[in-house]
Structure 1
Amino acid sequence: MDNKTFRIVYEGGTGEIEEKKSRFIAHICPVTTEKEAVDFISEKKKEFWDARHNCSAFVIGNNNEVTRCNDDGEPAQTAGRPMLDVLLRENIHNCAVVVTRYFGGVLLGTGGLVRAYQSAVQEGLKNCKILEPKDGYPCEIKTDYNGYGKIEYVLRENNLPILNTDFGAEVIISSVVECNFKENLEKIIADKTAGNAEITWDSQVKFDILDGQILKF
């Protein structure tokens, strides 16, 4: 399945690292407009007014229509841009981040600054809830008891949710499959069960994945 996943910050978080006595604190927030991002950055600058730097970056839009970054007094391209690069590399959308630096008295150099600011953002993202919006097809897979274990294995191996399993004269498994994997799943199940399974597809829907679980359907 496609590993390049569109991701949105569902719930913000913070993360902190220390590098040569300097503290780097990342604050991450979901935003949907440039005004929301600017307001969040201003709020953090006021909250951490005593810090040496409050560097920032944000990405807005499904196609990164708005991207901004600011070094806030750090050497050019050593803070805001590297922070933005993390968001873009992780395919994070509609997100603003501020990294607050409390200077520890030791200069880090340009390479050290880039690594520190990026590491702070990565640490902050670890503490966020990240939503993955998807397009897919609900389905019911009907098979006999011999085919049930094989199909369950296929679904779990491909990180496909098992929404419900009905055990009757036959076994009916409910799932939802991303659009780009629909045909592949049909071929895999047909191969694993020697054609002894029937898949019924419903209309295409939008759904969200949060921490590996379907959040809404």
Structure 2
Amino acid sequence: MLTTYFTVKTEGAHEIVIQKSRFIGHVKRVETEEEAIAFVQKIKKEHKDATHNCSAYMIGEHDLIQKASDDGEPSGTAGVPILEVLKKKGLKDTAVVVTRYFGGIKLGAGGLIRAYSGSASQSIDTIGVVQRQLMQLAEVHIDYTLLGKVENDLRQSAYTLQNIDYADRVILHTAMESGQEQEFEAYITDLTNAQAEIKFGGQEYVEKDV
């Protein structure tokens, strides 16, 4: 399992116009090839009157699933340029469909490559990229008298305060890089004068904007 990787933030679309042709870049995070295929088919259905719906996706920890489709454009001028954008940006589990409505002016092979790669790149930049990092989870149980001090200090620290539960005692849900458990325990113990109970849980990916 990867400790960290980059992918798109959410699903969305962005449109640009080049030489009167409309290029609409659709982007989505996908974790299986089935999801990617369903996304491509959905966009094709929504834009069935478009001239082309070219696509590419890259899935898996080691990018083992890579597909590109020119959807009727000259070979190598659409799908592969979109795929190259995903590679250049270092994205995983990402699918892109670029819809083209032809505006009457031919762009030539070089122009098509620039248009499709540009549309894909701008769409990804507009929708946003996140870094997903595998983090160790921990609960910090403290009395209410310590809440202000611990919460403020945690928010200024290298650790992540995810949320707070207010029960009989306060439970602060935190996350840290794997391997920092002993360091975190010592930090909390020192911060609370050994008045906190720390319970380590499992691991999960935590996202932050890039």
Q: Please indicate, yes or no, whether the TM-score normalized by the shorter chain is above 0.5.
A: yes
Instruction: Say if 2:172 is the partner of 1:174.
Output: yes
Counterpart CA distance in 2 for 1:78 and 1:184 is 53
In structure 2, distance between residues paired with 1:205 and 1:187: 16
- Equivalents in 1 of 2:26, 2:148: separation in Å? 51
Q: Identify if the C-alpha distance between structure 1 residues 119 and 185 changes in structure 2 by more than 3 Å, giving closer, same or farther.
A: farther
Question: Which residue does 1:169 correspond to in 2?
Answer: none
Instruction: Give the equivalent residue in structure 2 for 1:17.
Output: 16
Counterparts of residues 6-85 of structure 1 (less than 5 Å): 6-7=6-7, 12-85=11-84
The answer to whether the 8 A contact 2:60-2:92 is kept is no
Whether contact under 8 Å (1:138, 1:202) holds in the other structure is: yes
Determine if the alignment matches structure 1 residue 136 to structure 2 residue 133.
no
Closer/same/farther in 2, CA of residues 121 and 141 from structure 1, 3 Å limit: farther
RMSD of the TM alignment (CA)? 4.3
Q: TM-score, normalised by structure 1?
A: 0.64
Q: CA deviation at 1:68?
A: 0.3
Distance in 1 separating the partners of 2:187 and 2:179? 12
Residues 76 and 42 (structure 1 numbering): CA distance in 2 closer, same or farther, change over 3 Å? same
Shift of 1:151: 1.8
Alpha-carbon contact 2:134-2:178 (below 8 Å) kept:
no
**C-alpha distance in 2, partners of 1:162/1:151?**
14
Could you tell me which residue of structure 1 aligns to residue 200 of structure 2? Answer: 203
CA shift in 2, pair 1:178/1:46, >3 Å:
same
TM-score normalised according to structure 2 size: 0.66
Q: How many residues align?
A: 201
Q: Which residue identity does 1:140 align to in structure 2?
A: V
**Maintained 8 Å contact 1:25/1:99:** yes
Shift of the alpha carbon at 1:210? 6.0
Structure 1's unaligned 5+ residue stretches are: 167-171, 213-217
Query: What displacement does 1:196 show?
Result: 4.5
**Residue correspondence of structure 1 range 156-167 to structure 2 within 5 A:** 158=158, 160-164=160-164
CA contact (8 A) 2:36 2:57 kept: yes
- In the aligned structure 2, how far is the partner of 1:140 from the partner of 1:164? 9
Matches of 1:122 and 1:116 in 2, distance apart?
10
Describe the superposition over 1:62-83 as per-residue Cα deviations: whole angstroms up to 9, x where unpaired.
Answer: 3323110112233443321222
SS in 1 for 2:54: strand
**Contact 2:63–2:92 (CA<8 Å) still a contact in 1?**
no
Q: Is the 8 A contact 1:97 1:121 kept in 2?
A: yes
